[in-house]
């Protein structure tokens, strides 16, 4: 059932559902699964829930440097992360949102992801 994003539990559902798809995706799965050990996924998902709660509700919970993490992953992959990776990430994000949610916060999550994908790709490019 599609509903509006109302609280942290909704964001957690979104994050967990999305990354379950990412981890199985033929393009993104190998990257994420090789950089995040299985035992670290629960902590990582919690941190990503904090990230999106901060972004969507303005609740200052997230601490970290996503840009540096992405730059490091690109370096580990011999600078092979490209626009296709970010495009697939966005496709899966939008698909997950559309299955689970509607309304303004769902749209805000899509717009924020668009900006982030572009910003992270440009940061990676600038660090090469």
Q: pLDDT tens digit string along 80-117? A: 999 999 999 999 999 999 999 999 999 999 999 999 99
- pTM, rounded to two decimals: 0.94
pLDDT of residue 8: 97
Mean pLDDT, residues 38-58 = 96
Token pair listed for 107: 């749209």
Single out the residue of 95, 82, 93, 90 nearest to residue 31, CA to CA: 82
- Class assignment of domain 3-126? mainly alpha
Domains of the chain, by residue range, sit at: 3-126
Residue ranges of E strands in the chain: 3-4, 101-102
């Amino acid at each position: 059932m599609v509903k509006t994003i109302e609280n942290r539990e909704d964001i957690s559902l979104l994050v967990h559902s999305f990354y379950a798809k990412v981890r199985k995706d033929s393009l993104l799965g190998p990257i994420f699964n090789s950089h995040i050990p299985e035992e670290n996924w629960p902590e990582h998902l919690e941190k990503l829930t904090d990230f999106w709660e901060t972004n969507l509700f303005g609740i200052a919970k997230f601490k970290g440097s996503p840009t540096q993490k992405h730059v490091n992953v690109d370096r580990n992959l011999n600078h092979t992360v490209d626009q296709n990776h970010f495009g697939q990430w966005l496709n899966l994000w939008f698909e997950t949102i559309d299955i689970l949610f509607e309304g303004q916060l769902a749209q805000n999550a899509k717009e924020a992801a668009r900006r982030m994908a572009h910003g992270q790709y440009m940061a990676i490019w600038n660090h090469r």
